[in-house]
Chains A and B, each alone.
Chain A
Amino acid sequence: MPANIFAPFIWLTVILGGGAALWFVFSTVRQGRLPLRYNFRNVVVRWRSTISTVLGIALVVSVFVLLRALARGIEASSANTGDPRNILVVRKGSQAESGSLLGRENFRTLQYFDEIARNEKDEPLISVEIIAIVSMPRIQGPGEANTLIRGITARGMELRPQVMLVDGRWFQPGKREITVARRLAGRFAGLEIGGTVKAGPDKLTVVGHYDGQGSAFDSEAWMDADEARSIFDRDQYSSILLRPKDDAAASNIIAKIEKDKRLALRAEREVDYYSKQTMTAIPIKILAGLLGTAMSIGAIFAAMNTMYASVAGRTREIGTLRVLGYSRRSVVLCFLVEGAFLAAMGGVVGCLLALPMNGVATGTMDFQSFAETVFEFRITPALMLQGVAFSIVIGLLGSLLPAIRASRLPVISALKSL
């Protein structure tokens, strides 16, 4: 993903640039070259303009953090899905389960692989599954959205121990029943226990809710695989999930499937498959980038306006500082530090404004399955740090020109200023 390719370079630049700037400021402050108390007092004394600037920057930072938290939530949902021991098999050329079609013969071939682990009942740990998409009415807001229904076997549930029943019961094989992810039930009408879902000509009764522990399964509803095939009138399946005996067996199975041209299947570890399913986050990341850029330009001008007004109102004070021996560099740094301090306050406020959204479930369309994917806003300490760093960059950029202007004021005319 492009964002991931550039991320190390961006972080390296931020760390090196920030480190150099901090060292520069710190060394100047250590030499006593900055009357920082003067700047901080001004921030307090000019509280009206301080509040308006802080709130403006806070708004930008909170939007930035929330958009990044959305993308982070989607990524976390995918990253949190799957068992490293499992292997997922789809048709060669398919990027996702929803676009994959497998025949029953594929399943028959794979289930006799010696490398597959067995459960206590000596059954091979392999599950053949169906992914179907059903349109459901939303609870909030008008219209309907697609949701994923997974036709699953008892082995499939055994292979996904992270999914836990939290209410009601599991569906029974041979019955038109579904057990729905609790988070999905919170977003669609009719998914309460006892509710019904229209699936083709039939109706499915909701018999329980499960918790996918923040995984991609939180965006699904599960039912019996054979019932799903019957209701959705499918001859074929979507995917096969299996667990090899050990790591060497896993490598063998993947190599075997890849080599066998007759199968025309693609096998990979379940965790790898889901970690690649983060494409849904890309539009949100792009939106975050565009909105963040547009809003930060506005915030930079707002900060610049505040700092210009601040410089204009303190012309004589700047002249006095210069007369007393403060160099142009000190004056530039003074105003940069003041701007960065103001903006950092905005950054902290912005993060605090965004924080209540942490853990709130929301949904967006998965651009691979075109179904609703449910996930939580993930506001991590690293993300908040990014938000504050982003605000400081806004503050520094917004203060740079006013700071340079302040440092270039002719001393004598500055002293005579009213």
Chain B
Amino acid sequence: MSQEPIVEIRELSKIYRQGDINVTALNSVSLDIAKGEFVVLMGPSGSGKSTLLHIIAGIDRATSGKVLVQGINVANLNESELADWRNQNVGFVFQSFNLIPVLTAFENVELPLLLTALNRKQRREQVQTAMNLVGLGDRGHHRPDQMSGGQQQRVAIARALVTDPALIVADEPTGNLDSKSAADALGILQALSRDAGKTVIMVTHDPKAASFGTRSLHLEKGEIVA
């Protein structure tokens, strides 16, 4: 990698306690991810790929090891700082979209911006830009149940990028989509990485989806094997 890494992972381990048994989800994983990379995490169920994604994104904590994102050791942040950090630095895309059903598409995209210092006008402009980017500029007033799965996922992508985060994490983003919608969503993520310099980390089982990334990592039993 030529560029300075945006994500640096060193000796990262995650051990879950299930009753009396310790389950190792991640075992001394070390990894660097550069700015603008589109990294795909693959592997069988239980291999630790989602756990790795969650720890990088600051929604889970490691048992040991270090995760630096843009030089910040995420493990050192308390709950409140972590929430602020996520809001400012990470955009999330989920398999089941996770849109708030009672809010319109526009309001869903606006949600992360309510935590920023932007005024109403600035927020509206930023939301509209994000909605235009995913090709839904004219669907802002629709509620999620009035949209197709593909459109909902594009709204979720707009919500992920509206705060202009350095990192976008996607957990099986095409798992609930037909092939056309999946290709559209992946195309947007690819463009964000390639054209806007966003770092995208995506978990998927689908080799077709993986082909949109710039680098694929295979995990098995909590270790990167390829």
| Interface residue tally on A, bucketed by range | 20 to 34
| Complex CA distance for A37 and B57, rounded to whole angstroms | 27
Closest to A46 in B: B102
Flag if A324 contacts B54 (CB, 8 Å). Answer: no
Q: How far is the CA of A398 from the CA of B178 in the complex (A)?
A: 44
The stretch among A259-267, A279-287, A315-323 that forms the contact with chain B is A315-323
Q: When the two chains form their complex, are residues A38 and B103 in contact, meaning their CB atoms are under 8 A apart?
A: yes
Q: Which of B66-74, B78-86, B124-132, B207-215 contacts A (4 or more CB under 8 A)?
A: B78-86
The 10 closest A-B pairs by CB, nearest first: A325-B87, A41-B102, A320-B98, A32-B114, A327-B83, A324-B112, A411-B59, A45-B102, A325-B115, A325-B83
Establish whether residues B115 and A316, one from each chain, have CB atoms under 8 Å apart when the complex forms.
Answer: no
CB of B98 within 8 A of CB of A32, answer no
- B residues in contact with A32, CB < 8 Å: 114-117
**A35 interfacial contact with B, CB 8 Å:** yes
Nearest CB of A to B224, in Å: 21
Residue B38 lies at the interface, judged by CB distance under 8 Å to chain A: no
Assuming the contacts A38-B100, A316-B98, asked whether A327 and B111 have C-beta atoms less than 8 A apart, the reply is: no
Which residue of chain A has the shortest Cβ distance to B171 in the bound complex? A415
User: Given A32-B116, A325-B87, A327-B80, do A317 and B100 touch, yes or no (CB 8 Å)?
Assistant: yes
- Let me know if B60 is at the binding interface, CB within 8 A: yes
CB-defined contacts of A319 to chain B, threshold 8 Å: 98
> Closest residue to A416 on the B side, CB-wise?
B96
A245 to B115, CA, bound (A): 72
Whether, in the assembled complex, B107 has its beta carbon less than 8 Å from a beta carbon of chain A, the answer is yes
Residues of A within 8 A of B79 (CB): 327-328
A61 CB to nearest B CB, Å: 27
B59's partner among A41, A316, A412 (CB-CB below 8 A) is A412
Contact check, A412 vs B83: say whether CB atoms are below 8 A apart. Answer: no
State which of A38, A317, A325, A329 has its C-beta within 8 Å of the C-beta of B86: A325
Q: Which of A34, A37, A326, A415 contacts B98 (CB 8 A)?
A: A415
| Complexed CA–CA distance, A294 and B60 (Å) | 44
Task: A32-B115, A415-B59 given; name 19 further pairs at CB < 8 Å.
Answer: A33-B114, A37-B103, A38-B103, A41-B103, A42-B102, A45-B101, A317-B100, A320-B100, A321-B111, A322-B83, A324-B86, A324-B87, A325-B84, A325-B112, A327-B79, A327-B80, A328-B79, A328-B83, A411-B60
Q: Name A295-320 residues within 8 Å CB distance of B.
A: 316-317, 319-320
B115 lies within 8 A of A326 (CB): yes
> Which residues in B have their C-beta under 8 angstroms from that of A415?
59, 94, 98
User: What is the minimal beta-carbon distance from B70 to any residue of chain A, in angstroms?
Assistant: 16
Q: Which residues of B contact A41 (CB under 8 A)?
A: 102-103
Q: Is the CB of A323 within 8 A of B103?
A: no
Residues of chain B within 8 A (CB-CB) of A323 are 57, 59, 86, 92, 98
Contact yes or no, A412 B54, CB < 8 A: yes
Q: Give A34-53 interface residues, CB cut-off 8 Å to B.
A: 34-35, 37-38, 41-42, 44-45
